[in-house]
Structure 1
Amino acid sequence: MPPVLILLTLLLMLGACGGEGDHRGHEVKPNSRPYMTFIKYVDANGNRKRCGGFLSPSLPLTPPGLCPLSLHISHLHSALYSSMRVILGAHNIKAQEETQQIIPVAKAIPHPDYNAENWSNDIMLLKLQRKAIRTKAVRPLKLSRANAQLKPGYVCHLAGWGRKSLHATKGTDLLQEAELTIQDDQKCKHLFHYYIKTKQICAEDPKQIQAAFKGDSGGPLVCDNRAYGVLAYGKAKSIAPGIFTKVVSFLLWIRRSMKPSNRC
C-alpha cells in the first residue's frame, strides 16, 4: 500500500456538518477505530462547525485527502478551506490526546456532477497540507471492492461524534458507534423522494434504538471492515434510516481524480 493516506467524505443536504449524524449507540474503546477523523472549521459567517470522516488507503497522490463536509457546493470557497482542520487519532475531541494529529486542509476537489437539487454525486476530495503519519491510533480503512453489493438485512456499523439523542443540543465529545442494518431500496425510495439506489445505501436499526443523528455527516458505513458508504443525510428529528453515498459507485472517479495530471 502506498504510504499516503486519504480521507473520504461528502457534501450534505442538512446544513453545515449537519446531515444526520450518529446514534444512540455506545462509546467505543479509545483508538479502536483508528480510521476515524474529526473535522472542525469556521464557516463564512464566523460560526464554528464540526463533522466526521475517515482515513482510507490512498492512491498515488501526495498528500491527498477526502473528508466530510455538510455544505452545498455554492458555499465552498478558499476562505472556508483555510480554516479547516482534520484531527486524526482522536477519541475525546475535547482533550489534547498524545495520539492526535492535526492537519490543515489545502484544497478541495468537489465531484463535477454534484446536484444541489437532489444531492446526488455528493462527494469531494480534500487535499491535506501534509501527509498523515500512520500509528496505532491512525490507520486506514479499506474501501469496498469494485462491484461489491450489500443485501438487505446485512449488519454494518457507523461511528462518529454526533448527537446521542433526538433531544441533544450538541454532539458528544467521546467517539460513539451504532449498529445499523441495510434496508430494502423500495422502502428507502418511499421515505426519501431523492433516493438513488445506484448511488446510495439506506441503513437503520430495525429496533429503532440506535440511529443516525445530527453531527456525524461524513462518517463511514463499515461492513466487513471496509467502507461501503459515507453518511449523507436523513430525516431531521426522527429515528429514520440514514442515507449513505455508495462508495463503490465513485471508485473510478476517485482513481481518476488522484492521477498525477489532476493534482492540485
Structure 2
Amino acid sequence: MQTLLLLMAILLFPRTEAGEIIGGHEAKPHSRPYMAHLGNCGGFLVREDFVLTAAHCWRSSITVTLGAHNIKQKEETQQEILVKRAIRHPDYNNPPHWNDIMLLQLEKKAKLTAAVSLINLPSMRDKVKPGMVCSVAGWGRLAINTRGDGKLHEVEIEIQSNKKCISRYKHYNNIIQICVGDPKKIQTTFKGDSGGPLICNNMAQGIVSYGNTSAKPPRVYTRISKFLPWIKRTMRRFKLLRSQ
C-alpha cells in the first residue's frame, strides 16, 4: 500500500529538475562565456572593457566576475574586475522601468579565454517575433522562495505578442521592450537574474528587466536594438588608457 501511495505521489507531483532557473536546468559549465556576475544581478560582456546590464542593477560599487560557473567557488577561469564607471541610460525611469539599460566600464580589459568571450549585439534591422524560441541564463532564484545554488542556470523561453504584456503591465512599451515567456509554462527568470541577456540566434536581443512578484510569465525585457546608437556612442566616448 505504501509503495502504491509513493508511486501516486510521484505521478501527481513530479519533482522539478535539480538546479533550475525556474523551469530550466543547470547550464553546461562555461558554455555561455559572455556571462557576467555582478553580485545582485547578471550582465554580459560586449567589449573587453564593457559589460551591458540593466539600469536598475546600479550600485555605488560593483565588482564584475567573468568566466564563472559556480559563483560560490573560486574557479581558475574566473576574472574579478572592478567597475570604473557605471553609465545608466540618461532617460532611465523607474518606475516604469523605461530605458532599463546600463553600461559598465571595467577598470581593465578582460582577458579573452575559452571561458570569457564577447556576445554579439543585434543590428537595428534584427527583430524578434512572437513564437521565436530564445534562451536566458542567470544565477538567480530557483523558485519564488528558493535561492540559487551558485551555479549558472538556463532556460528556453518564447517571445510573446505585445498585447500579452500590455494587458498585464500598464507601463509596457513595445517600442523599447520585449514581451517574453509563455504564460502557460512555468519557465522564466526571477530575482537575481536581472541584467542578463536574452539570446536569440546567438545574439543578445534583450536584457532581463522586470515582471510580477509571482514569477508568472510573461516578463518584460529591454529591447537592445533600440539602444544601439547610445551603446556605440557611449563606448566610443569612454575609452581606457593604453597603459591599462
**TM-score under structure 1 normalisation?**
0.78
Which of 43, 52, 56 in structure 2 is aligned with 1:70? 56
Secondary structure, in 3 states, of the residue corresponding to 1:115? coil
Distance 1:226 1:209 in 2: 24
Which of 93, 103, 115 in structure 1 is aligned with 2:81? 103
Secondary structure, in 3 states, of the residue corresponding to 1:66? strand
Q: What corresponds to 2:7 in structure 1?
A: none
4+ residue runs over 4 A deviation: none
Which of 104, 119, 142 in structure 1 is aligned with 2:120? 142
**TM-score under structure 2 normalisation?**
0.84
Give the aligned length: 220
Q: What corresponds to 2:210 in structure 1?
A: 233
Distance 2:89 2:215 in 1: 29
Which ranges of structure 2 fall in alignment gaps of 5 or more residues?
Answer: 1-20
Secondary structure, in 3 states, of the residue corresponding to 1:99? coil
Q: What corresponds to 1:182 in structure 2?
A: 159
1:71 shift after superposition: 4.5
Q: Which structure 2 residues correspond to residues 109-258 of structure 1 after superposition, within 5 A?
A: 109-168=87-146, 170-258=147-235
Q: Does the CA contact (< 8 Å) of 1:103 and 1:129 recur in 2?
A: yes
Distance 2:211 2:227 in 1: 21
Secondary structure, in 3 states, of the residue corresponding to 1:108? strand
Q: What corresponds to 2:33 in structure 1?
A: 34
Distance 2:103 2:36 in 1: 14
1:259 shift after superposition: 2.1
Which of 40, 52, 70 in structure 2 is aligned with 1:92? 70
RMSD over aligned Cα atoms: 1.8
1:217 shift after superposition: 0.2
Matched, 1:56 2:46: yes
Aligned residues: percent identity?
A: 46
CA offsets 1:64-105 (integer angstroms, 9 cap, x no match) = 443345357xxx5xxx22xx1100000011111001000011
Larger radius of gyration: 2
